[in-house]
A and B are shown apart, each in its own frame.
Chain A
Amino acid sequence: MKIDRRSFLALGVGVVAGNALSPVPAILTDDIAIWTQNWPWVPVPEIGGSAYADTTCQLCPGGCGISVRKVEERGVKIEGKKDHPVNNGGICALGLSGLQLLYGPTRVKTPLKRAGKRGEGKWIKISWDQAISEVAGKLNDLRSQEKAHTVAGISGSSSGTMTEIFRRFLTAYGSANFFHTPSIQDTYRLVFEFMHGKKADPGFDIENADFILSFGSSLLEGWGPPVRMLKASKKWKDTATKIIQIEPRLSRTALKAERWIPVTPGTEAVLALSLCHVIIKEGLYNKDFLANSTFGFEDYKAKNGEIKKGFKQLVMDDYSPEAASKITGLDPAAIILLAREFAKASAPLAIFGKGQGILPGSLSEAMAIHALNALCGSINRKGGIFALDVLENKELSEVALDGIAEAGLKQHKLVETPHNSSGCLNQAFSAILKGNSVNALLVLEANPLYTLSDSKSVKDAFDRIPFIASFSSFMDETAQYADMILPNHIYLERIEDVPLSMGFPKTVIGLSKPVFKPQYSTKHAGDTILLISKELGGSIADSFPWKNYEACLQHVLSDKMDVLKKKGFWTATDSFPDFKNAFRTASAKFEFQTDSLSSDLVNVKIEGDETYPLVLIPYETIRLSTGYIANPPFLTKAVEDTILKGKDSFIEINPKTAQASGFSEADMVLLQTPKGQARVRVHLEEGIMPGIIALPRGLGHTAYDNYIADKGINVNQLIGPVNDPVSGLDTAWGIRAKLSKA
C-alpha cells in the first residue's frame, strides 16, 4: 500500500495508542521513581562490622577522652569516652566534628615545596626523603655559617614530649629561640614563681568551690578542658554553688552565673584589690595563714634596708571601695557586699584571666587576684587553687652540645626577659621587624599568622624570614605562607602524650593512639624531627638515639606507659605539703609582691586615644574554634546567624550605643582601630556594656577550606599586642575603636 499522509498519521496514532494501552508506561513510571530513590550521585555508605576505638582528643588543649566508632576501617562517629576523668562521656561540638578534619579537604596530603610566590598556594609535591634532606641541608648550611642561633622554632603547646623534643632539637642544634603559642598558663607560672617560688601550673578545684569569682574567664566557652567545665556547671546548679561572673559582656558563663557583674574592662585588678581592702578592713581574712605562712602582708624591711609598704597598707591606702568604684564603675556597696560574700564562703575561689585563656594577660592583675585567694587561704586546699608541679621530662631537657651549639646558645636571643621568654611570641616578631635576623623558622602545630594579634606585622616579619617550614597537618595560614610543609599525622592517626591543659586540679596525661592508619603520605612530626637530626649527624643525632618517636615516648614515659596504654590516661598522685613546706620563696612563705601592685601597674592599659570613642573586645564562643585548628564544617554550621551571615562578621553592640551613632540591626559599618579597619555588621545586644563592642575570635580565616576561609573578620587584624612591663607577655584585652557608616 502507498504511505499517504493519512495512513501515516493513522500509523502514528496507532503506535501511540498501542503503547498507551500496553504496560510500558506503567513500568517506565515505576522504574523512573525507583531511579530517583537510587540516584548514583547520592552516596551509599558501606555497611560492615562496627567497633569502638578509644583515644584522646587534641583539637583543643582540653584532652578529653573520645571513643571513635568505626565501620570496618572507616570512622563514622566520635563520641565522648565514658569514665574519663575530664569529660566522662560528654563531648563538645568541635570534638564531634573531628572526622571532618580527618577526611576533610584541608588536609596536607604529602610533603609540599613552594612553587609560586609565598602564600600564592602554588606547590609541588615532593618525596619525604627530599623534604627531609632539603630542610636538613638548609639547617646544615646555617650551622656551618655559625648562624645556628638565627633558627627559631614555634610549638603550639608548652608541654608534652613533642614540644620537648622540638626544644631539645633546637638546643642541640644551637638555638635558644624556641617559642610556644602563648597562653594564660605562662602568666600563672610567673605568679607561682613570684609568690610561691616554684615552677607550677594552676589547678582550680571548681567542682568543690562553693563561691567562684571569675574575673572574666569564659568558663563555659572553652576555658580549660571545656567539657569538664560544662559538666561542672551542672554540678554548680545541683549544689547551688555561687558563680559570680565579672565581665562587660553577657557570655554563656555570665548567663549561667548566679550574678553577672559588668565592670569597666581592664580594672578587674583594682576590683580584686578593693575586695582585699574590705576583707582586711573587716578582718574577714584567714588570720592563721596570713600570720604564719605569708611574707609582705605587713610592712617589711627590704634587703637594702628600706622599709617597704606591705600588702595590707597598700590596699588600705589605695584601694578603698570608693576609690575603686570610680575606676571600675561599680557601686561601693556592691564591692563591699561581694567582698563579704567571698570571704564568708567556706570555699571561695577567684579565677584570673579573660576569655578562654588565649591571652596571657597582666601579671599584676593575676597576682592581685591570686592575693585575694591567699587572703582567704584558698590555696592548695579543697575548692581552692592548687600549685601543681610542672610536668617535665628530665631525659629530654639535658642535651649534649657541640662547639657550634654552645656558641649559638651564647648568642643574643630574639627576646630577652628576666624570666622564661618562650611565651613572648609577639616580641619575637617585633624583634625580627627591628632587624634581628631569623634565617629559618620551624612551626609545629601552631598558626601564629592567624592566632597572634597584629597579624599584619607578623606577616611582615614572616617576609623577612628566608626559610619557613611547617609540620602542619592542615593548610592553615602559616603553612600556606611557608616554603615547605612536612605534614604531621592528625591526632587520630598518631601516638602522642597529651598533658592536660591548665586548670585541671590534678596532673593528668592522656594518650592519643592511632585509631586510623595514616590516610595520606604524612609522617609523625616526632619522626620527622628525628630523621632531620640524623641527617644533621654529630651531637644532634646523638641527642636522639631512639629509632623513632614511639620508642622515644616509650623511653621517656616508661613508668607511665603501661597505664597510659591500658586506661588511655595517667593520673598523678599529687600531694600538697602543708604551708610550712609549700613555698620555695626566699622567705619560704607566700609572698605578696607589693611592688607589682602599684596602681599604675594594676590598671591594664590598651592601645588608642580619645579619637576612638569605643572599646573593642574580642570574645570567644564555644561554637568557634579559636586556635590552630579552624572550624570544621559542622561546627561552622552551628554558628548563629547573629555572629556570621554570608561572609560578614557581626559586632555585638548595646542598642543605646548603636542608637547614639544611628546604627540599627544588621547595618554594615566600618570598624576602625589604631591597628586596622574592617567592614562588619551590627548586632544589637542588650547583654553588653554600653560603649563596648565585641567581635568573636575564630573567624576571618584566609586558609583552610572553602567551608571556613574568607568568612568574617579575624579580630587579630584589629588588635595589637601590649607587652606586660614585668613578664613581657601580651596583655592586650582589647583596643580602642570607632564605628562609621560603611
Chain B
Amino acid sequence: MSRSTAEAVPALDERIRGEPLVAGGETLASVTETVCAIVEKPRPPRAWYVAFGISAMLAGLLFAMIGYLLIEGTGVWGINVPVGWGFDITNFVFWVGIGHAGTLISAILFLFRQKWRTSINRFAEAMTIFAVLCAGLFPAIHVGRAWVEYWMFPIPNNLSMWPNFRSPLLWDVFAVSTYMIVSLLFWYMGMIPDLATLRDRARTRIRRFFYGLFSLGWRGSNRQWHRYERAYLLLAALATPLVLSVHSVVSFDFAVSQVPGWHTTIFPPYFVAGAIFGGFAMVLLLIVPSREWFGLKNLITMRHLENMTKIVLATGSMVGYAYLIEIFIAWYSGNSLERFTFMNRALGPYAWAFWTMVSCNVILPQLFWFKRFRRSIPAILLVAIGVNIGMWFERYVIIVTSLSRDFLPSSWGHFTPTWVDLCTLLGSFGLFFTLFLLFLRFLPIVAIAEVKSVMPEAKLDRDVHHGQGDYHGDIPRQHERQFGGPETNR
C-alpha cells in the first residue's frame, strides 16, 4: 500500500509533464542514423536469422498444405455437414482482425492527433498488410473449386452470369480487397520520404537504384510536402471508416445468416472491438522484440507500450461486455434455440474452447489495470500472446459451436480438426512472420520523417510566444526547454 502511494507522486508528476515521445536526447541526424542503420547493417542480429529460418519453414509448410488441399479436395480438413466452416474461416476472421490495428493506429490515431503513434505506425501498417494477406488466403482456398473463384468478381463473361451482390461473402470480397489496396497505398505513401532518406544515404549501387526507384524522386520539396500531407490526411480519413466497415462486413457473414449464435445484431461493433483488441496485442507482440533487437528503445518508449496496453485493456473490456450481453440477450429474447446455443457453448462439448476464450480475452487483460504490469515487458508479452490465442478461439467458438448444433437435432454434429487443419494454421503464422521479418530487414521500420516532426527540433522557438500550428500535448516540455529545467532522462 505504502509503495503505491510512494510511486503515486512521480506518476502524478509525470502525467502533468508528459513523458517524451522520443527519449535519449536524439537529434534529427541520430534518428535517421538509428533507423537507417538497421537496414544498412551488413547483417542483422542472430535472433533475426533464427526467427526467419523458422517462419520460412512454416511458410513452406503452409504452401505444401495448400497444394495437398487443391489436389485432394476440402475433405482433407475436418469440416463436414453441419460444420461446413472450420479452421478455414476461423483463420480468415482471425487474420483480418489482426489486420485492423495497423490502419487503425495510423489512420484513427492520426486524425486524433495522437503524436505517439508516429514511432509505431509503420510497424502496425506493415503488420496490417501481411495479416490481410494471410487473411485473404483463406477464403481463397476454402472453396471447393478454387479454380473458378474469379466468378466472384464482376468480370464480363460469355456465360453472361454475374456474382450475387446480396451475399455477405461477396461483400467480403469487396471489403477485404479494398482494404488490402488502401492499406498498401497508405503504407507505401508514408514510406516515400523515408525511402528517399535511404536513397540519399545509400552506398551500394543496388540500394541506390531500388530505394531511388521507389522513392519516386522525392526531394523533400515543401510544395510537395504540402500536397503530400493533404493526401495523407485524406487517406487517413478514408481508411478510418474503411477499417470499421471491413470487420463489420466480415461480421455480416454471420450476422446476416440464420444460424442461432450467428444471427446476432451486435456483431459489427463487437467484431470491430475484438479486431482492434487482437490487433494491438499483435503489435505489442511484434514491437517488443524488435525494439530489443534493433535498439529502438529511444524511439519506441515505454510510454508507447503503455498507451497500447491501455487500449488493449479498454477493447478487451468491450469484448468481455459483448460476451455478457450476447448471453443476456439469448436469455432475454426467450428464443429457445438461442438459449440452447449459448448454454451449449458454455457447457457443451466445446466448453473448453469457450472458457479458453473468456480467460484469455476478458480475465487476462485485467492485469493492465496495474501500472506495474503495463510497464513490465514479460507481462506485456504474456497478455499479448494470451489475447491472440483468445481471439482465435473467439472465432472458433462462434463458427464451430453454432454450426455443430443448429436447428434439427437429427443433423447435429461435431468438428474435429485434421493434421492438415493444424498445419495450415501454423503455416499461416509462418507466412506472416516471414513477411514481417523481411520488412524489418529491408524497409524503414520507423516513420523517420514523422518522428522528426514531433521532435523538439521540429518546432519554432517563436511558436511559444504566438501559438501557431497544432502542437498538442508537449507544450509543457516546450516551455521547459525555453526556460531551462531538468534535462529529459539521459
Query: Are A and B genuine complex partners?
Result: no
Seen from chain A, the residues whose Cβ lies within 8 Å of a Cβ on chain B are: none
